[in-house]
């Protein structure tokens, strides 16, 4: 079998060739809470823009399709409100360190400029006290570059795709590291002890395989995670509570030449009753599929603010819930 092309010290290095380095991905989240299952999917472009010497690489992320929740576009007015507000973040520019890990949002000023315009148009279509409250919450959520960076640091795609893959794996082709993943709702990311192994041989499809296995190594208890607490609070009240348990597995497939991500299949399981499972699938789309999707979008046309359940005139609309996923919460 053909060997992986490492550099010194068994190092995987991403080979970037602007301006042609663009990858088109399909992204699928699956959330299982016992027998209850929900999915969220969309397509996303990831483009390398430039390198800031001795600091970071800049990538651009741009969603190329609507977001589909359980295979349909957002159909509640509340979800449509959040969907429209969420558009201000894209195109998103991010700073990534030389290991491949997310550092911060790069184009905060552009996002704020879009928000000023979007806030006006959203206010014209959605009326009511809850709408105003939502807009105020958005104002607060994106009030500083640090807050927007934290928002995306707590987004699962960002955590998994912009992972520190590009590093030395040593003579044993294995690394043991602690990693944090945002799988506990609004709570802080959950800490895992992970073992990361790179196969020194290319697979049958001529791809590099990096395999991750891990288990929860977090001070919080099951009760803390279930209640979406960022701190290990319950152990002081419920002394019999044990630390939360759960597992993490992932398979990264990388292009043999560029080392860019071809696909990711990652699973997180938390031993809460009922069992909670989160899966992320990311797969590179062939160009024919991308062209078909783009043609479909062009044929359907775009009128800016759209409604799934038909055309609406301006009217009093009461917003009863917030679709936080679209804000990365």
Averaged pLDDT for residues 268-275: 92
For the chain, the average pLDDT equals 85
- Please indicate, yes or no, if residue 190 is contained in any of the structural domains: yes
Question: What's the number of domains the chain is made of?
Answer: 1
Which one has a higher pLDDT value, 40 or 84?
A: 40
The model's confidence at residue 257, banded by pLDDT at 50, 70 and 90, is very high
pLDDT in tens, 92-133: 999 999 999 999 999 999 999 999 999 999 888 887 887 888
Cα–Cα distance for residue pair 36/41, rounded to 1 Å: 17
Q: Domain for residue 132, yes or no?
A: yes
In a domain, 57, yes or no: yes
Could you tell me the residue range of the domain that residue 100 belongs to?
8-327
Find the mean pLDDT for residues 208-230.
Answer: 95
Residue 2 within any structural domain of the chain? no
What pLDDT score does 125 carry? 81
The answer to the question of residue 216 being in a domain is: yes
What CA–CA distance (Å, rounded) separates 81 from 135?
Answer: 10
Q: What is the CATH number of the domain that holds 173?
A: 2.30.230
**Residue 308 confidence (pLDDT):** 26
* Other Cβ atoms within 10 Å of 312 Cβ, number: 14
What is the rounded average pLDDT of the residues 209-214? 98
Q: Decide if 74 is inside a domain.
A: yes
Does 1 reside within a domain? Answer: no
């Amino acid at each position: 079998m053909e060997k992986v092309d490492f550099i010194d010290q068994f190092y995987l290095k991403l080979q970037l060739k602007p301006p042609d380095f663009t990858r088109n991905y399909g992204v699928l989240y699956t959330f299982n809470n016992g027998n209850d299952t929900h999915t969220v999917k969309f397509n996303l472009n990831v483009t390398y823009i430039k390198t800031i010497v001795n600091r970071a690489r800049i990538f651009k992320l741009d969603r190329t399709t609507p977001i589909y929740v359980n295979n349909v576009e957002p159909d509640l007015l509340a979800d449509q409100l959040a969907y429209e507000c969420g558009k201000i973040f894209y195109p998103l520019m991010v700073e990534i360190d030389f290991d491949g890990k997310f550092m911060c949002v790069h184009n905060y000023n552009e996002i704020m400029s879009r928000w000023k315009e979007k806030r006006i148009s959203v206010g014209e279509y959605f009326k009511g006290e809850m709408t105003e409250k939502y807009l105020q919450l958005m104002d607060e959520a994106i009030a500083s570059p640090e807050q927007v960076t934290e928002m995306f640091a707590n987004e699962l795609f960002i955590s998994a795709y912009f992972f520190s893959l590009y590093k030395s794996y040593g003579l044993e082709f294995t690394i043991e590291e602690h990693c944090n993943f945002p799988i506990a709702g609004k709570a802080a990311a959950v800490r895992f002890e992970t073992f990361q192994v790179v196969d020194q041989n290319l697979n049958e499809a001529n791809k590099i395989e990096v395999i991750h296995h891990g288990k929860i190594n977090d001070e919080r208890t099951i009760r803390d995670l279930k209640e979406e607490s960022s701190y290990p609070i319950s152990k002081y009240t419920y002394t019999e509570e044990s630390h939360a348990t759960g597992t993490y597995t992932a398979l990264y497939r990388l292009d043999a030449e560029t080392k860019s991500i071809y696909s990711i299949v990652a699973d997180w399981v938390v031993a809460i009753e009922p069992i909670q499972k989160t899966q992320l699938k990311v797969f590179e789309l062939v160009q024919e599929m991308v062209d078909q999707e783009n043609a479909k979008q062009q044929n359907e046309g775009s009128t800016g603010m759209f409604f799934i359940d038909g055309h609406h005139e301006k009217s009093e609309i009461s917003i009863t819930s917030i679709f936080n996923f679209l804000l990365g919460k």
